Amino acid sequence: MCINVSVKTLQRWDREGILKAKRTPTNRRYYTYDQYLEFKGLKNNVDGKIVIYTRVSTNNQKDDLINQIEFLKDFANAKGIIVDEVIKDIGSGLNYNRKISILHVFKRSYFKCK
């Protein structure tokens, strides 16, 4: 995802309304994937939410779970992707009775099949 322009050009485009930047609470500029697609003249064919799914095997790994969430949110932010929901899962892949699984995520009504 690259438009090959300088920071100065992005700042000017923001001022002139050519490509308006969104702002973080600390006033840093960022652009979403939808803005990128619109700027490139492409259409986003994805309807739905952006969901981060994180999982560890045991309660002892909760710190690892927090690190996963932070890493994935930072990654998404760097790519201009706004995360709508974070799903945390703790449990062994062999435990079929746990409350949440990735299959439950896909069964939710806001996921639309095309």
Instruction: Locate 55 and state its tokens.
Output: 């999982």
Report the alpha-carbon distance of residue 10 to residue 5 in Å, rounded: 7
The one-character DSSP state at 108 is: S
List the catalytic residue out of 57, 92, 101, 109.
Answer: 57
Helix, strand or coil, per DSSP, at residue 43: coil
* 6 part of the active site: no
Helix, strand or coil, per DSSP, at residue 47: coil
Which residue numbers are catalytic? 57
